[in-house]
A and B are shown apart, each in its own frame.
Chain A
Amino acid sequence: MSDTPSFPILMQRRQSAAALLAMVLVWQIASSIAADRLFPGPVQVVSVLLSEAVGGELLYHLGISLARVVASLAVAVVIGTALGYAAGRSRRADVWMRPWIVVLLNMPALITVILIYIWLGLAEMALVLAVALNKIPNVVVTIREGAGQLDKDLGEMAELYRFSRAAMLRHVVLPQLAPFFLVTLRSGLAITWKIVLLAELLGRSNGVGFQLQVYFQNFDVTHILAYAISFGVVMLAIEYGLLVPLERRLFAWRR
């Protein structure tokens, strides 16, 4: 079989590139019409982005924020998966957890961050915990759905053939939860990024959120947009460099 992408995939990629180009063009035209320093064009923003990336502090702050995102998401996924699995497999656990989940799901991130900062101080640990607390309910809900849909027939087969606990987890449970993990990772990254920025803005002296606050005070829209684009680039890199290959690997059996 050839490795050449099939025609529809090639078409999709071309159309995505065209859509992106159209967006940049609209932005350039709009900024030319506005002719205001508060609405810089893409060329100006990208040039600031490049100079910040090469000689400035962008990579340092981006790295710090990214590390916080990874740490918070890891804590949220580990705790949320354990709780979600319990809720999906046990009616009693689900009943006990449900009110907590509903309350936490609807709690504004701002409140959680402020409260945790007040209780634990403006520390790194507090940030990670605050962000994770915001994400845990989403993980619980998603994994609960997956755990509730585990195939009973496969479970019986594994029981009959006396699979070890490890084999049961690795070969029966986790592959069935994999699509739910991917959903939670994708939505988790998006949500976690946003909350990390908020938490940095409120209580840290570095990271992208902190930098945005500084540029906001100076009304430096060019730098704000440069940081925003850098975000987009990182998210795209994670999506296509990590999540898509992971998805391909996990679901190779479907092809």
Chain B
Amino acid sequence: MAALMLAIRIEEKTFPGHDAQPLTVFRSLSLDIADGEVCVLTGASGVGKSTLLSIVSGLDREFRGSVSGRPSPIGMLFQTPRLLPWLTALRNVEIAVPGRATDASRWLAAVGLTGHEQDYPQRLSGGMARRVALARALAVEPALLLLDEPFASLDETTAQAMRALLHSGFARRRPTTLMVTHDLANASSLGDRVIVLEGSPARVVRDVAISRGGEPGSGRASMAGPAR
């Protein structure tokens, strides 16, 4: 059993409502995530999965409670790619790892974007932009990896390749990972644990450890992580 690392304690998280009625997203939510554990977080739309990622990342500090043991560096794939439109794909990755242009280039290749290094985000499709964002998240060699719908807006082949990339990455170096997804069937092949959120305020209705059998993922050679 890995040592306990990330402890999420949310006493209350509310959003100001549109009709002056505040919306309580979480109340008394408690989650412990072990070092190197890959947690798949799922639940209905609007239940608060992305908000939870935001709180765990430290970007959302407007809640009562605490997140302790947050490791660093953090890599995060946001719901939208959040690329800087005035920088090329390569520079968008490199800017997160200053002075490591070669690493940035390798990660872009790893997500299948060789030949698109000098493209501006405007010229990339939604799926390609998400892959640049994924390359950026992985390039920082995160100790904590937060993925918000990593396979959304990707075609099935690319999604499969991205899962294989994460598999091979996790096999070498396993950051503590929290992955939000609706695609439970595929995502669970990556995870150690599935957490299901439900209700308003959201609570954990299922927290299931996944037993690992067999070789994970399809492990396509072309999409394997960058050679070191």
- Interface set of A (CB-CB < 8 Å, partner B): 153-154, 156-157, 159-164, 167, 171-172, 175, 253-254
B87 with A154: CB separation less than 8 A: no
A156, B59: Cα distance in complex, Å? 7
A157 with B78: CB separation less than 8 A: yes
B84 with A172: CB separation less than 8 A: yes
Restricting to B78-98, which residues have a CB under 8 Å from any CB of A? 78, 80, 82, 84-87, 95-96, 98
Restricting to B104-120, which residues have a CB under 8 Å from any CB of A? 120
Decide if the interface of chain A is mainly helix, strand, loop or mixed.
Answer: helix
Restricting to B40-84, which residues have a CB under 8 Å from any CB of A? 57-59, 73-74, 76, 78, 80, 82, 84
A172, B85: Cα distance in complex, Å? 10
What 3 A-B pairs have minimum CB-CB distances, sorted nearest first? A161-B96, A157-B82, A253-B120
Residue B165, interface by CB 8 Å: no
**List of A residues within 8 angstroms of B73 by Cβ:** 161-162
- Interface set of B (CB-CB < 8 Å, partner A): 57-59, 73-74, 76, 78, 80, 82, 84-87, 95-96, 98, 120, 122, 136, 140
A253, B86: Cα distance in complex, Å? 5
Closest to A151 in B: B82
Expressed in whole angstroms, the minimum distance between the Cβ of B10 and any Cβ of chain A is: 19
Closest to A178 in B: B86
A160 with B76: CB separation less than 8 A: yes
A161 with B87: CB separation less than 8 A: no
A145, B120: Cα distance in complex, Å? 26
A167 with B95: CB separation less than 8 A: yes
Closest to A153 in B: B82
Expressed in whole angstroms, the minimum distance between the Cβ of B120 and any Cβ of chain A is: 4
A163 with B86: CB separation less than 8 A: no
Closest to B133 in A: A157
Q: Can you list 26 residue pairs at the A/B interface with Cβ under 8 Å?
A: A153-B80, A153-B82, A154-B82, A154-B84, A156-B59, A156-B78, A157-B82, A159-B59, A160-B57, A160-B58, A160-B76, A161-B95, A161-B96, A161-B136, A161-B140, A162-B73, A164-B98, A167-B98, A171-B84, A171-B87, A171-B95, A172-B84, A253-B85, A253-B120, A253-B122, A254-B85
